[in-house]
Amino acid sequence: MANTNDSAPLGGQQLNQLSLGTPAARNLATTTKSPPQMQGITSRWLLKLLPWVQVSGGVFRVNRRLSFAVGDGRVSFTNTGAAVQVIPQELCELPILRGFDDAELLSALASRFVQRELKAGDVLVEAGQPSDAIFLIAHGKVERIGKGKFGDQTVLDVLADGDHFGATTVIASQDRWDFTARAVTPCTVLTLPQRVFSDMLDQSERLRGHIERFKALAKKPKDKDGEAAIELSAGHKGEPDLPGTFVDYELAPREYELSVAQTVLRIHSRVADLYNNPMNQTEEQLRLTIEALRERQEHEMINNREIGLLHNADLKQRIHTRSGPPTPDDLDELLSLVWKDPSFFLAHPRTIAAFGQECNRRGVYPQSTEVNGNKVPAWRGVPIFPCSKIPVSDARTSSILLMRAGAEKQGVVGLHQTGIPDEYQPSLSVRFMGINEKAIISYLVSAYYSVAVLVPDALGILENVEIGRAQG
């Protein structure tokens, strides 16, 4: 019987094909191509929004008024199982021990702290009771609660890991707590009774001398920001003697050296010579390399331990959320830290989503604002920009930054140097390094940058923001 299947394949072709097929036609066609794409490219809002200052000498010095403010840093701890102990050298973060370098005595003090475990709701100290101990919060959150103007109870502050209180009251006589400290979550707290500190003070002449110098420093005239006071007279009548004054400066101001991000781009000469139509291979390789460098630059400007904004915010400019997730109340409190013409918030996209969820839960709908043709969310008129470089911890916590930008506002500024040799973009150079014996062309690509906070109140951070809490 004859085969009636006229469409049976013969040599990969259809017997009944009436026209040229597309697979064969593609051999004669020119394919339209996109430039190489890169998923790691982000909006890099920090680099776009920061005003950039030219640093011609490679170093930027931030001159400030002389400050008598004594440090009030955070302490760190070690643990062996459930037993927690403060690191002796970290006690120098307490105001009364700042600059004290007697390692033996610091170790003795650290060993005398007593560990306490608190449940949520437990009271650590009560307002009106004698202030007779130093408290170090190793883990958890503690609220400081005080009386408002009309006698109502209000939350003055939220303390968390590494915070402390009571260090200055143990050297004062007949002082009492003016607030109540209550645990918000289960807490691990280390305490040092005043009598123990007094015993060590009696035994060490060096420690007594250090405390006396601290008391003398605390008595020096200073303004609310801790800077050396400028004596003025106002509202007087007649011809009184006017006070004389001068503005003193810091003797050792901080200097920022420009950091660098670098890589060596390698391209085979055969590729650079022959495969340049329709796109130049060298230019495309260079474009994506520069994109990666700029991404790393923004990452370093946020996370680097020396220049990064997360590590350079003043400790008094760091606050914690009251309940965990980022709420409108928390952002209002952050605005109270950077209230002098705030420029923008910076947060991880997941953090922005968590804030939106909290607003939805409360029936609050923040308006958006337009910045350079882009619609972005805003709170109290201050735009909130996404930045994936802000880390999210394994416990799904992150941070929200708020800053005032610009040198004329005494804010946060980016630092760079334009006009460098072989400059390809501002403060970024592409330098030809030669061709090796394997015919590979090498280019040194370098980006120079830094970031500076001109005065402490230009940058505030909301820390330990929970972004994974399920809402009921």
278 preceded by cis ω (within 30°)? yes
**Whats the size of the chain, residue-wise?**
472
Pairing of strands 142-147, 180-183: antiparallel
Between CA 165 and CA 176, with CA 171 as vertex, the angle to 5 degrees is: 60
Q: How many helices (H) and strands (E) would you count in the chain?
A: 10, 27
Q: State the total domains in the chain.
A: 2
Are residues 189 and 107 both part of a single domain?
A: yes
Beta-carbon count within 10 A of 198 CB? 13
Query: How many alpha carbons fall within 13 Å on the CB side of residue 179?
Result: 16
Are residues 146 and 268 both part of a single domain?
A: no
Are residues 377 and 311 both part of a single domain?
A: yes
Are residues 192 and 316 both part of a single domain?
A: no
Q: For residue 466, what are the CA distances in angstroms to 325, 347, 351, 421, 472?
A: 5, 12, 8, 46, 15
pLDDT for 60 equals 94
Contact between residue 9 and residue 17 where contact means Cβ atoms under 8 Å apart: no
Burial 440-467 (b: 16+ CB within 10 A, else e): ebebebbbbbbbbbbbbbbbbbbbbbbb
Is 39 a domain residue?
no
Contacts 24+ apart (CB under 8 A), 222-229: 222/67, 222/68, 222/69, 225/67, 225/69, 225/457, 226/67, 226/68, 226/69, 227/64, 227/65, 227/66, 227/67, 227/68, 227/69, 228/65, 228/66, 228/67, 228/68
Contact between residue 87 and residue 76 where contact means Cβ atoms under 8 Å apart: yes
Is 444 a domain residue?
yes
Alpha carbon 182 to its chain centroid, in Å, reads: 28
pLDDT for 245 equals 64
Is 461 a domain residue?
yes
Instruction: Give tens-digit pLDDT for 298-343.
Output: 999 999 989 999 988 887 788 888 888 999 999 999 999 999 999 9
Are residues 203 and 261 both part of a single domain?
A: no
Are residues 353 and 450 both part of a single domain?
A: yes
Are residues 264 and 317 both part of a single domain?
A: yes
Reading across the β-sheet that carries 180-183, which strands appear in turn? 123-125, 180-183, 142-147, 153-159
The residue type found at 136 is L
Which of 219, 244, 271 finishes a domain?
A: 219
Return the percentage of the chain with pLDDT > 70, whole number: 87
The CATH number of residue 215's host domain is: 2.60.120.10
pLDDT for 228 equals 63
Is 237 a domain residue?
no
Q: For residue 457, what are the CA distances in angstroms to 2, 381, 424, 428?
A: 93, 19, 35, 31
Beta-carbon count within 10 A of 147 CB? 14
* C-alpha dihedral, 235 to 238 to 240 to 246, nearest 10°: 50
Contact between residue 441 and residue 268 where contact means Cβ atoms under 8 Å apart: yes
Q: Which residues contact 380 (CB under 8 A, 6 or more apart)?
A: 331, 332, 335
Contact between residue 302 and residue 388 where contact means Cβ atoms under 8 Å apart: no
Q: The tokens of 226 are what?
A: 């801790």
Residue 256's DSSP bridge partners are: 60
Are residues 212 and 263 both part of a single domain?
A: no
Helix, strand, coil % in the chain, rounded to nearest 5:
25, 30, 45
Is 249 a domain residue?
no
Is 229 a domain residue?
no
CA dist., res. 2 & res. 471, Å (int): 73
Which of 166, 200, 219 finishes a domain?
A: 219
pLDDT for 215 equals 74
pLDDT for 246 equals 63
pLDDT for 258 equals 96
Residue 345's DSSP bridge partners are: 384, 402
Are residues 262 and 382 both part of a single domain?
A: yes
pLDDT for 114 equals 92
The DSSP code for 18 is: -
Burial 246-265 (b: 16+ CB within 10 A, else e): eeeeeeeeeebebbebeeeb
CA dist., res. 341 & res. 331, Å (int): 15
Instruction: Give tens-digit pLDDT for 152-183.
Output: 778 888 888 888 898 877 777 657 888 899 99
CA dist., res. 109 & res. 196, Å (int): 9
Low-confidence ranges of the chain (pLDDT < 70): 1-15, 66-72, 80-81, 148-151, 173-174, 217-229, 231, 233, 235-236, 244-248, 469-472
Are residues 372 and 428 both part of a single domain?
A: yes
pLDDT for 80 equals 66
Are residues 108 and 162 both part of a single domain?
A: yes
Which of 163, 195, 219 finishes a domain?
A: 219
What stretches of 229-279 adopt beta strand conformation (E)? 254-257, 259-268
CA dist., res. 365 & res. 14, Å (int): 63
pLDDT for 71 equals 47
Q: The tokens of 131 are what?
A: 């202030």
Are residues 271 and 341 both part of a single domain?
A: yes
The H-assigned helical ranges of 178-314 are: 194-203, 205-219, 269-274, 281-303, 309-312
Is 3 a domain residue?
no
Contacts 24+ apart (CB under 8 A), 226-231: 226/67, 226/68, 226/69, 227/64, 227/65, 227/66, 227/67, 227/68, 227/69, 228/65, 228/66, 228/67, 228/68
Between CA 358 and CA 368, with CA 364 as vertex, the angle to 5 degrees is: 100
pLDDT for 349 equals 95
Question: The domain containing residue 355 runs over which residues?
Answer: 49-56+256-466
Is 433 a domain residue?
yes
